[in-house]
Structures are given as structure tokens and as C-alpha cells.
Amino acid sequence: MIRLNCGSVTVGGVRMDNHLILAAGVLGTTGASLARILSTGAGAVVTKSIGPFPHEGHPGPCFAEINGGLINAMGLPNPSKDFLTELTPVSGKPVIASVFGGNPAEFLEVASWFSGRVSGIELNLSCPHAEGYGAAIGNDPGMVEACTKAVKSLGMPVWVKLTPNVTDITECGVAAERGGADGIVAINTVKAMRISTDLRRPVLGNRFGGLSGPAIFPIAVRCVYELYEACSIPVIGCGGVSSAHDVVEMMMAGASAVQVGSAVIHDGDIFGSIRDALYSPDGMRPEEIVGCAHG
């Protein structure tokens, strides 16, 4: 397998210890868990998405393990501004705050709480099951551009996490770039559903949820590939990554860095395992493989 030369890297304005990033929503709710993931080998971490008001989330069940992945409808649970105290244990570390709002003004307000306290902001314009938030507004390129522009006014690196639940993801990628984004994260979960045949009811309390895990890896690779061709800013790959091989494939599609989410649930040391398999002092320069699958 291809191995890469290790070293710190700057992607989309964010300096990281390596190319491997904890994805939003997984173990990103406390400072202690963010610090633990950094200590196991992640180059950077993204927090759970924080919004303008405290929110308990959707009624349970919120989460189910299925063939090939996980399906969740957590429902954007978050303590809002009170989350800031969680940043103390990871002060000065490569932490990206995931934020959401229902319009540009809300995005700006929430992002401003993090100004000067994190390395960058990731805009959640892609949660597939949130009325008035996430993909409900992030499927509109005009809204993607306006929210990005609002947060970019703070002068921090801004990444925009996109939904795959659209006909053409590049329209939203190009809109984020027009709004001044420093990077695009692709993808959030894929809108999905399971039904309990015993109960004759949907498995999730919210009925619909987001599919993550290995089942969505090929969708994520396709989205990264399309965005790499359509946009000039770096693409950060996300979706079903669980091995060093997946990281290399994502990079060949065009990812400058790669997020890992669901795989952490089964293996708390996944970042260390991927890092050890991926990097070698005599490995290739990462720039040699990023986007190399394009003709």
C-alpha cells in the first residue's frame, strides 16, 4: 500500500498535526473526549455541532447499528454557548468548531462565540434530519453562499460541510467557494430509514435519519471527486473512512485531508492504527497523490 510522508500540514487555513481529523458529531461533545482523540493520533478534531439555543435533540431511539453502518437521528442535541467551557482542555490544539444556525445571522452569532478560541469553523449546512437547519437550508446554493460569507467576516478559516442529498453537490461547493470558504467537507450522512418488522414501525424515533459508515464510502468518494473538479479550494473527505487504504483512496479522489467518524465507535484507537499504517519517513509526498485519479 502507498505510504505517505508524515508531518504537520495546513489545509483550508487550519494547521494540523497530520491529515486525519475527527469528524463532527462523534465523541466531540466534551473537552475530555476531544483531547483523548487528539492523544490517540488525530491531526485535528471537530466538535459536535453547536447552535444558537440549547437543544435536547430528537426523541429516541436516536441511533441504530445496521448492515454496513449506522443510522442516527440525534437531532442536533447541544448545550449552545455553554459548550465553550469544554474548550479549556484543548486550548491551543487543532480544534475546529462545528456550528449551525437557521440563517446567516444565526451562523454568524454562534461562530463569533468561538472567535480566537479554535483553529477554524465548520458550517453544518448538511444534517439530513433537522427542520430549518442543516440540509434543509444547505441544499440551497444561495443560502450556502450567504451563511459562508457571514461567518467569513470574522476572519477565521471557514470550512463548509455539504450534504450528499442533492442532485448536484458541486452547485453547493461552488456557492461555498463564492462565499469565501477556505475548505469544503464532503459529506454529511445520507438520508435513510429502517423499519422494525417486529414492531411494524420505523426504528428511529424521528423515523428518518442519516446513514454513515462503510456503506456510504463510495458516495463520499464520488462527491469528493466531483468537488475536486468543480472547486479550487481544498476538499476534506468524510464518510465511511475506516482504514489507511480508504484515506489514500479519498486523497486520490481529491481530498487534501480526511475525516473519520463512525469508525471511532468500534475502535477508540482507530486514529493511531490509521496513522501507523499510513505514514512512513520514506513515504511519498501527499501532494503526489491528492487528486491523482483525475485524468
165 is a site residue for ligand RRO (CB under 6 A): no
Look up cell 475548505; give the residue. Answer: 183
Q: Which residue, 119 or 212, is less far from ligand RRO as judged by CB? A: 212
Kindly name the residue from 127, 147, 172, 223 that is annotated as catalytic. 127
Q: Does 210 bind ligand RRO (CB under 6 A)?
A: yes
Q: How far is CA 121 from the centre of its chain?
A: 11
Considering the complex, what minimum distance in angstroms separates the CB of residue 146 from ligand RRO?
Answer: 19
Q: SS3 helix, strand, coil % of the chain, rounded to 5? A: 35, 20, 45
Q: How many CB atoms lie within 10 A of CB 59?
A: 11
Q: Among residues 15, 9, 290, 69, which one has the least CA distance to residue 189? A: 69
Q: Out of 73, 146, 215, 236, name the contact with ligand RRO by CB under 6 A.
A: 73
Of 118, 127, 231, 251, the residue at the interface with ligand RRO (CB under 6 A) is 127
Check residue 159 and give left, alpha or beta (phi > 0: left; psi -120 to 50: alpha). beta
Q: Is 188 in the site for ligand RRO (CB under 6 A)?
A: yes
Q: Is 127 a catalytic residue?
A: yes
76-115 binders of ligand RRO (CB under 6 A): 76
Nearer to ligand RRO, 57 or 180 (CB): 57
Instruction: Please identify, using beta-carbon distances, which residue of 2 and 62 lies nearer to ligand RRO.
Output: 62
**Among 26, 41, 28, CA closest to 89:** 28
By the 8 A CB rule, do 96 and 44 touch? yes
> Does 25 participate in binding ligand RRO (rule CB under 6 A)?
yes
What are the catalytic residues?
127
The site for ligand RRO (CB under 6 A) is made up of 25, 49, 72-76, 124, 126-127, 134, 188-189, 210
